[in-house]
Amino acid sequence: MSCGEQGMTNLLLTSIPFFRDVILMAFECPHCGYRSSELQAAQYAEVGCHFEVVVRTPQDLNRTVVRTEHATVSIPELQFEAPPSPDRAGELTTVEGVIRSSIEKLEELQPLRRIQVPEQAAQLDAFLERMRGLLELGSPFTFALDDPTGNSFIENLRAPQPDPQLTSRTYERSHEQCVMLGLNVGQELDKAEVRHQTEKHLAAAAHSIVGKSGTVPDSFESTCMRVAKPEDIVEMPMECFMCHRDGVVRMVVANIPMFKEIVLMCFSCPQCGYRSTEIKPGGRTNPTGRRITVRCTSGEDLSRDLLKSDTATIRVVELDMDVEAGSLGGMFTTIEGLLVRIRERIECGSCHMGDSTRGENRARFAEFRDRLTRMIDGQEHFTLILDDPISNSYVQDLCAPDPDPNLTLEEYTRTREQDEELGLLDMKTEGYEERHEEHHEHHEEAEPTPATAAAAAAPAETCGR
């Protein structure tokens, strides 16, 4: 790009811990010495992402930042915003690197501005001084990163534990964002329609077991706990997450004694062989949330059956470890199996075991992993808290129907923010058809005919004259 001669581009597919797979590209020209680097995500995420970090120390300035060309950077304290730019390549940098590059770009045309528009140049100089002051950490400031592709990232310095200075959330992309990214909006709507049809077939299968009266028959438990017959299994086509070809997802309704019915789902792709399993709770949405606390002091406690829904959060008090909702999906396992899954997920994407890791981070992670292993082996007691805002999670009671001394159940009322996040405030299950018909009739009555519109316009024309 500089001298027009042929250079060499090196590509590396690597994984950023606690993030996803990315492609690193580095170009070098042996003729003129020109060099450039670029980072691209392997694919768009299903949802957008938003990160905010409060910068207080030099370690915060050194946080790793993955910034794609579609990401927006903002600093609310300065009312500063760097909009997305398709011409800018994705980069792997730090918080300090993003601020310094922004300062350099703003300074590029300052000599010309001082000649042509000296007032604007003076204002921009004052603003640049404020941006340089951020790097001196005179006062804390907020660094925000928003990316509709979901491929940007800010490092968690306390991983795998939660970082009190870092907050993140995901959101559904709007229609305008899908168009901006070049996504097939019609295909996205088709996927939503497939999910809707799947839910309808699933509801019909559950309805055939429970019955039209809504009451559970006496033989319901024995019917669901037996091995499913072929006619009880619902099959639906679904796109494979790995090769994006057509696969098949199979579903069957089962029941957990003293809890509720659940939906077992298994996906398999005949093309690439990818397989996955997931569990979704069935039935109505409970009006309250449930917090389950288990004190694990023996091997029997580790072998308790556990159902975790995708809306539940997990906390191990002694480790100060939180697993956010949706991180592991829905699963039916044991407490030991849950801890093993968490350890595997941490180890497979850990950034605290390589040669480039700082010594204190490596030591902290090694201690965390050793303590988690001792808990899995039953050598250390711990307290597990399973918090589900819609009460779709379950832990086996070993002493039922008598009280279990190591198991505590707590019902609580959801906050409005939780209801809004779960989509319950927009859900209307009764009278929605009547409301739609009334709105349709009102619209027809309010719509004027040509004669009525002409008669209504006549007085206005007279007054105008």
Chain segment 299-322, per-residue pLDDT in tens: 899 999 888 888 899 999 998 888
Question: Which pLDDT belongs to residue 284?
Answer: 72
Under 8 Å between Cβ of 360 and 396 = no
For 176, the enclosing helix (H) or strand (E) is helix 175-181
Under 8 Å between Cβ of 406 and 296 = yes
Question: Which pLDDT belongs to residue 36?
Answer: 77
Question: Which pLDDT belongs to residue 229?
Answer: 56
Q: Which residues of the chain have pLDDT under 70?
A: 1, 15-20, 39-42, 87, 184-231, 256-260, 283, 348-359, 427-465
Residue 1's Cβ-side half-sphere holds a number of Cα atoms within 13 Å equal to 8
Nearest to 155 by CA among 72, 81, 219, 66: 66
For 15, the enclosing helix (H) or strand (E) is strand 8-15
Give the length of the chain: 465
Under 8 Å between Cβ of 186 and 107 = no
Q: Is 418 left (phi over 0), alpha (psi -120 to 50) or beta?
A: alpha
Question: Which pLDDT belongs to residue 303?
Answer: 92
CB burial string 192-223: b at 16+ within 10 A, e below: eeeeeebeeebeebbeebbeeeeebeeeebee
Question: What backbone torsions phi and psi does residue 119 show, to the nearest 5 degrees?
Answer: -65, -45
Q: How far is the C-alpha of 170 from the C-alpha of 49, rounded, in Å?
A: 4
- The radius of gyration of the chain's CA atoms, rounded to the nearest angstrom, is 29
Question: Which pLDDT belongs to residue 428?
Answer: 67
Handedness of CA 306, 312, 316, 321 (dihedral sign): positive
Q: How far is the C-alpha of 247 from the C-alpha of 90, rounded, in Å?
A: 33
Question: Which pLDDT belongs to residue 30?
Answer: 84
